[in-house]
Amino acid sequence: MQIYTPDEIASMLKISKHTVYEMIKRGDLAAFKVGNKMRIEETEFERYKASMSAIPARVQESKGNPQHSLQLAGSHDFLVEQLVKYIASEGTEFSITPSYIGSLEGLMMLYRGSADIAAVHLLDPTSQQYNLPFIRQLFVHEPLTVMRLASREQGMIVAKGNPKDITGVKDLARTDVSIVNRQKGAGTRFLLDSFLANENLDPAAVKGYENEEWTHLGAAAHISRGTADAAFGIRCAASQLGLDFIPLTKEQFDIVFRWTPENREALQHLIDLIQLTNFKESIADLDGYDAEEFGTIIYGNHSTEE
């Protein structure tokens, strides 16, 4: 299999190598390290090119005014990827620009007014509730709407056949098991830490705990290559790479809209597209997702009719 350097990817895409590193950081392009050098597999490069070709050029408004771009920040999720592509394919008068930086940082960007939408799956260890405890603590007066997208299966991603016979989180403390972790602030990392705490395991005792990836697919790719034995992640990532999966819990994945006079029309259009079109059918193609509550407004202090 061909392995590319960031410089080679930059040359083939006719962009700067700094842009390639930013794509890797955002999670748009999965990479791995050889020593302190970044490398990208040919299959991942082809996947990226295919995903980009599925998104047509952004539609401009008929009068020549620039299209409104909604900024989405937060957790990486395959359903969010599908949503971004769906919006682009519909030729709407707005687009979504995603930045996959983790649930916590996504909420902070929303709080700072640097994003219009946050994608989150944060477990509050005290209440054992997802997302709303963090949202209510951060946002007091800001007009918000929280929508449930789906429930996802989270667990251990392991190699096909589970050669290390990993059965749960407690096995991560074994000396013959190494993991790849998600970045600080990721909801999946929050969840792993909660499981480690329940097992009274010190993260320092987990080999590879400090090794970070920015997307589920990037973490699963380490298992596929054999550079790690396990990763905490979602079933869909394991399925896409033909890996085994040990289910441990179901989590709630939500998107948070922060309303402003500038984005109000675009956000309302987005909600209509999610709730009233066939976008829900996208979930049927994603393993490990439950769409029973898809599109349900679970919290709101703002009327969309204002």
Q: In which region does residue 75 sit, left (phi positive, over 0), alpha (psi from -120 to 50) or beta (all else)? A: beta
Which H or E run contains 154? strand 144-158
Which H or E run contains 66? none
What is the Cα–Cα distance from 54 to 288, expressed in whole angstroms?
23
Residue 48: what pLDDT? 79
Residue 12: what pLDDT? 84
- Per the CB < 8 A criterion, the answer to whether 245 and 235 are in contact is yes
What is the Cα–Cα distance from 149 to 295, expressed in whole angstroms?
6
β-strand 212-213 against 296-300: which pairing, if any? unpaired
What is the Cα–Cα distance from 75 to 153, expressed in whole angstroms?
15
- Per the CB < 8 A criterion, the answer to whether 68 and 93 are in contact is yes
Residue 88: what pLDDT? 87
The structural domains of the chain, ordered by start, are 1-53 (1.10.1660), 62-306 (3.40.190.290)
Residue 172: Cβ-neighbour burial (10 angstroms; 0-12, 13-18, 19+): buried
What is the Cα–Cα distance from 108 to 123, expressed in whole angstroms?
16
Q: What is the pLDDT along the chain (306 residues), one digit of tens a residue?
A: 789 998 898 888 777 677 787 778 767 788 888 877 889 988 888 887 776 654 443 333 333 444 688 999 999 899 999 999 999 888 888 999 998 889 999 999 999 999 999 999 999 989 999 999 999 999 999 999 999 999 999 999 999 999 999 999 999 999 999 999 999 999 999 999 999 999 999 999 999 999 999 889 999 999 999 999 999 999 999 999 999 999 999 999 999 999 999 999 999 999 999 999 888 888 888 999 999 999 999 999 865 444
Q: Which of 110, 103, 101, 107 is nearest to 70 (CA)?
A: 110
Q: Indicate the pTM of the whole model.
A: 0.76
